[in-house]
Structure formats: C-alpha cells, structure tokens
Amino acid sequence: MKKILGIGNALVDILMKIGSDHVLNELKLPKGSMQLIENETAIEIEEFTKEFSKQIVAGGSAANTINGLARLGVDCGYVGKIGDDLFGKLFKDNLEKNKIQALLFRGSLDTGRAYTFITKDGERTFGTFLGSAVQLNAGDFLEDLFKSFDYLHVEGYLVFNHELIERVLSIAKSAGVKISMDMASYNVVEANLEFLKGVINKYVDIVFANEEEAKALTGEEPAKALDTISQWTEIAVVKVGEKGSLIKSGDRTWRVNSVLADCIDTTGAGDLYAAGFLFGLVKGYSLDVCGKIGSILGGNVIEVIGATMENGRWEKINSEVMAILK
C-alpha cells in the first residue's frame, strides 16, 4: 500500500453561519477569500462574534485532505506545527483518532485557527490566524523525512514561506516522491504568482485548482487554463464547481461531472476532492475514475457544515465509491 504525507498549516476551524455579507464587510474580509490576520484582528473577531453560534473542529487544507484519505483506508502522515494549548491537543487527537502518523512540531505561539464565515449561498470566507503554524520552517525538514512515503500533498497556503516550500519540494523530489499541490485560494496565487509558476514547473507532478485559482495562475478560462497548467506538470485538475472538473495529462483530457448535492457549505470541498482523486491514483485507477471519486467526496462534504463528516456519511461515501468501481 502506498503512503501519502501531507504538509500544511495545522489549524482549528471555527465555523460560523452568517445571514448576510454585512459581517464580512464589517470585518473587512473579501467574500470567498482567505485573509491572513494578526493576533489583534483575531481578538477583534472573537469579540465581534462572541454571541455567534460556533462549531470548532480540526481543519487546515492539507489536513482535511489527509483525513479524507485516511477515512478511505490510505496509510497517511501529516506534518505541521501546533501550540501547547487545547486547540493543539484537539488537532493532534483528531489525527491520531483517524490513525494518521502525527509528525507535529511544537511552536511557541497559540495553535493557529481559521475563522470561517459561511454565507447562505454556501460560500466560505476565512480570516486565518496562523499562530504556531507560521513557525514551521525549512530547518524542521530532514533529508530522510520522505523516505517512507510515496506521495506528498502540499497546500498552497504554505507558499507565502518561499524558503520552506523550496526546501520541502526539493527534498521530496530527491527522494523520488510524487508531489501534488492544491492552489488553495485565488488571492494566495495572485500574491505568489511567479514563485508558484517556478516551483510547479520544477517540482510538482499534480496540480489542483478551482476556476478562480486557475485564472489567477494562468490568466485564462478553465479549458485553456487546464491546457496551460498541463504543460507545466504531469496531471492538471481544474474544478469548475457544479459543472464538475477537468483533468488533463499529456494529450488526454477528461471532463467529470459533479454529483447532485444540496450545498450548504463549500468548506473543504476542494480538499476532499483532492482526497478522493489521490485515493484513486494510489489505487491505480484511470484519471477519470479518480475524478469521479473526488466528485463523490466533494459532493458529500458540501452537504455538511465544515470539512468533518460523521461515520454514517463515510459509510455512504464508501458505498458510492464501490459502486463506480464495479
């Protein structure tokens, strides 16, 4: 069985449903974006939302993907940095509950948290205080870290730390590990455009992007963006929401339909799509089947609040996956 390692910002998601965009405007958070915030802003958000109903769960983009893979039976590990606090314990306990190898460093700051605002249309907007997650650095990664893994999945949110990304991808590539990267958010891509293009060309084998991220990366609409990204990497995936996803490798292109779903929150949709896709890949299925499995996971997670799904939902997912593999 092939093993997958995820690396990302170890965060706890604080999920809140809001009735209108007014809250986002008050907090100066552009709808649909991920904005990095300082501790002072985090305190302001805590105060502003103290009467809001909240759901607190382990999160972080790569961690969501790894948790999804583990629930599908893949042997996984996760690298991140947490604080010495209750949120850090929650994050670590969640990995261990799902039988994920927790390679967690301890930082000097509080555990990072993502204030996640969910509007009526299911869109999510993040105000992210990285805390100890931001202290993950190039020096944490030794040459032998990747030797027991076959794939590395990296979240795009880490690309703000150029030195870290270069170190991680270089070591992984030297170890013969296949590298996948999720573009994370359109504003992350815009802020690191030339750097991202460089590392994708040099190191990355699989790129996941939604249509906004793909446009930020290439300046093109989905189909042309897919063509461009596929020239840089082995497998390119562009997700187009309810229209499904586009996949290209070499000269072959696949269009995969989305699954019917009652969308209440898009948090984790891309992360769980990646989990399904990578599951199919390590199992040796064709890329269109990988996309179909990704769509099943993505379609299920948008029917719940947050990226964590209960056992009953996973039983449904496993049945749906088995049905398309027959």
Looking at domain 3-7+63-109+135-325, does it have CATH number 3.30.450.40? no
What pLDDT is attached to residue 141?
87
What pLDDT is attached to residue 326?
77
How far is it, in rounded angstroms, from Cα 84 to Cα 110? 7
What is the value of pTM for the model shown?
Answer: 0.93
- Measured between alpha carbons, how far is residue 79 from residues 136, 144, 258 in Å? 9, 14, 31
- CB contact set of 178 (below 8 Å; sequence gap of 6+): 150, 151, 152, 205, 206
Burial class (CB in 10 A: 0-12, 13-18, 19+), 138: middle
- Measured between alpha carbons, how far is residue 183 from residues 39, 197, 236, 310 in Å? 25, 11, 11, 27
What pLDDT is attached to residue 207?
98
| Alpha helix positions (H), 204-310 | 211-218, 222-232, 269-282, 287-301
- Measured between alpha carbons, how far is residue 37 from residues 22, 34, 159 in Å? 19, 9, 16
Q: Are 186 and 196 in contact (CB under 8 A)?
A: no
What pLDDT is attached to residue 33?
86
Residue in the block written with tokens 């907090």: 27
What pLDDT is attached to residue 278?
98
What pLDDT is attached to residue 34?
83
How far is it, in rounded angstroms, from Cα 104 to Cα 125? 27
- CB contact set of 94 (below 8 Å; sequence gap of 6+): 57, 58, 67
What pLDDT is attached to residue 273?
98
Q: Are 38 and 182 in contact (CB under 8 A)?
A: no
The neighbour count for residue 25, using CB atoms within 10 Å, is: 11
How far is it, in rounded angstroms, from Cα 182 to Cα 206? 8
H or E stretch at 69: helix 61-71
Closest-CA residue to 265 (of 11, 66, 17): 17
What pLDDT is attached to residue 62?
97
Q: Where are the domains of the chain?
A: 3-7+63-109+135-325
H or E stretch at 151: strand 151-155
Greatest Cα-to-Cα distance within the chain, rounded to the nearest angstrom = 54
pLDDT along the chain (326 residues), means of 10: 93 91 91 88 92 92 97 96 96 96 96 92 90 93 88 94 95 95 93 97 98 97 98 98 96 96 89 98 97 97 92 95 88
How far is it, in rounded angstroms, from Cα 195 to Cα 161? 11
How far is it, in rounded angstroms, from Cα 278 to Cα 265? 23
